[in-house]
Amino acid sequence: MGVEKYDELARLVQEARLNYEEFAAGKKVAAIRARQALQQIKRVSQECRIEIQQIKKGPEEQKPTAPPA
């Protein structure tokens, strides 16, 4: 993973904020961009959560899957 994901999250949060501020100032089309940025934040956050969980588990806790019968 690394710091790159967190840099991307920070960029997306800033983008969402700017779009929300435009929306609050009366530019209704900015609401679409703000919602899209929030959706991207959700996606990247979930990717980070999954990667952290995989690192936390480590190879010793991962159980091999049985081949299909």
37 by Cβ neighbours in 10 Å (0-12 / 13-18 / 19+) ranks as buried
What are the extents of the domains in the chain?
Answer: 3-60
| Alpha-carbon Rg for the chain in angstroms | 18
> What pLDDT is stored for residue 64 in this prediction?
53
One-letter amino acid identity for 31? A
Predicted confidence at residue 67, as pLDDT, reads 59
pLDDT at 58: 86
Cα 37 from Cα 13, distance rounded (Å): 7
3-state secondary structure of 51: helix
The pTM of this model reads 0.74
Task: Tell me the two tokens of residue 35.
Answer: 């919602």
**What are the φ and ψ backbone dihedral angles of 28, each rounded to 5 degrees?**
-65, -30
